[in-house]
Amino acid sequence: MGRQILVMAETREGGFRNVTFEALAVARRLAGDGKVSAVLIDNHADSALTEQLARYGADRVYVVKHPGLEHFSVDGYTQAFNQILRQLAPDGIIIPHTAVGKDLAPRIAARNGYGLVSDVVKVELAGDDVVFTRPIYAGKAFQKKKITAAPLVFTIRPNNFGPVEPDPNRTAEITEFPVSVSDIRTRIREIAQSATKGIDLTEAKIIVSGGRGVRSEQGFRVLYELAEVLGGAVGASRGACDAGYAPYPMQIGQTGKVVTPDLYIACGISGAIQHLAGMSNSRTIVAINTDPEAPIFKVADYGIVGDLFEVVPMLTEEFRKILG
């Protein structure tokens, strides 16, 4: 059995977001004998980019270029994506659950009267049935959902599927798809770098996170140093954000971001239920806290009872040695 699957490819700073390759991997599984098509909305797209989509599983790539699509806008992207969608009438649509995807997917679904399952972390095929698993209550529980009428439209959470091994010999049919874009009702006045620099938390493989125990904005410096050595991102608990030690975009928890990195290092975080909800599905969790009774130790794989201002710099030094 074959399904035609359409994937929204997402670029960031000239390359693809990793979740794009994950979406292609899921698409391949769903497609069976059918074709996987990728939509690449990018005025600067070149053959290096489109070839990458082919290697990771796309059979067709629709490249969309339009002066009205230089920057992301809900209206522009919805119009462009919808025009391709109408022409292809796919059996499934996969969109990354990112800032762009969260804006685009519900508009596409509502415009066409589709059901949509958001923030999927697992896709199971059982005969003709497709079952989607997604976290609820920020991961305190999970639900399995089905879509009762075709097409299968869903967004996938970054970092949960893993891409397929790219095949350097795979090729795809590349088509420039002409779209008409008009009446964009939002206008970007300015874009500026903000406090959360570096790696996006939801896609980071390693996160060093600080809580009230970090005690000040300056206290986060030791966390940044560790994160830098590890190539990771820095997060914070609600306690740390409410106290003004870290800006809200860094907050991890049921309010804030839900993260599932390979390694989560919690420093000076006691482990309130709402914080645990946002990180307890991380693959390996390390807790560093002076209080041996802190609930964070209950979800940690490894714990060190000690002062983070002593332990973290030592750990940074040790990793520096290991990584040479």
Partner 1 sequence: MNILVLLKQTFDTEERIRIENGKISEEDVKFIINPYDEYAVEEAIRIKEEHGGEVTVVSVGPMRTESALRTALAMGADRAILVHDESLSGIEYGDEHTLSKILARVARRTGFDLILAGYMSVDSGAAQVAPRVAEELDIPHISAITGLRIEGNAVVAEKDMEGNKAVIEASLPVLLTAQQGLNEPRFPTLPNIMRAKKKPLEIWTVADLELDFGSIQPKTAVAEQYLPPPKPAGRILEGSLDSQVRELAQLLKDLIS
Phi, psi of 176 (to 5 degrees): -85, 120
Instruction: Considering only the stretches 1-9, 38-46, 48-56, 140-148, report the one whose residues sit in contact with partner 1 under the rule CB under 8 A.
Output: 140-148
Between 53 and 315, name the residue whose CB sits nearer to partner 1. 315
Minimum Å distance from CB 268 to partner 1? 16
Distance CA 24, CA 10 (A): 11
In single-letter form, the type of residue at position 198 comes to: G
Between 178 and 185, name the residue whose CB sits nearer to partner 1. 185
Structure tokens that stand for 147 in this block: 């879509």
3-state secondary structure of 118: strand
3-state secondary structure of 271: coil
Contacts of 68 (CB under 8 A, 6+ apart): 76, 181, 182, 184
Minimum Å distance from CB 310 to partner 1? 7
Note whether 127 and 37 are within 8 A (CB). no
Binds partner 1 (CB under 8 A): choice among 11, 29, 66, 147: 147
Half-sphere exposure of 295 (CA within 13 A, CB side): 9
Q: Does 185 bind partner 1 (CB under 8 A)?
A: yes
In single-letter form, the type of residue at position 183 comes to: D
- Short-list 10, 57, 54, 64, CA closest to 29: 57
The residues in 104-133 that bind partner 1, with binding defined as CB under 8 A, are: 105-107, 109-111, 113-119, 131
Minimum Å distance from CB 172 to partner 1? 27
Between 26 and 207, name the residue whose CB sits nearer to partner 1. 207
Minimum Å distance from CB 321 to partner 1? 8
The residues in 222-281 that bind partner 1, with binding defined as CB under 8 A, are: 230, 247-249, 251, 253-256, 258, 262-263, 272-274, 277, 280-281
Binds partner 1 (CB under 8 A): choice among 67, 182, 189, 244: 189
Instruction: Considering only the stretches 1-9, 20-28, 171-179, 188-196, report the one whose residues sit in contact with partner 1 under the rule CB under 8 A.
Output: 188-196
Between 112 and 175, name the residue whose CB sits nearer to partner 1. 112
Structure tokens that stand for 187 in this block: 């206008």
Between 84 and 285, name the residue whose CB sits nearer to partner 1. 285
Between 44 and 185, name the residue whose CB sits nearer to partner 1. 185
- C-alpha distances out from residue 57 to 6, 244, 248, Å: 12, 45, 37
Categorise residue 295: left if φ over 0, alpha if ψ from -120 to 50, beta otherwise: alpha
The residues in 14-73 that bind partner 1, with binding defined as CB under 8 A, are: none
Minimum Å distance from CB 155 to partner 1? 9
Q: Give the bridge partners for 40, in sequence order.
A: 9, 63
**How many residues bind to partner 1 according to rule CB under 8 A?**
95
Between 57 and 135, name the residue whose CB sits nearer to partner 1. 135
The residues in 293-322 that bind partner 1, with binding defined as CB under 8 A, are: 297-306, 310-311, 314-315, 318-319, 322
Binds partner 1 (CB under 8 A): choice among 44, 128, 182, 187: 187
Contact track, partner 1, 78-107, x by CB under 8 A: x-------------------xx--xx-xxx
Minimum Å distance from CB 109 to partner 1? 7
Distance CA 96, CA 160 (A): 11
Distance CA 266, CA 302 (A): 11
- Short-list 252, 231, 254, CA closest to 240: 252
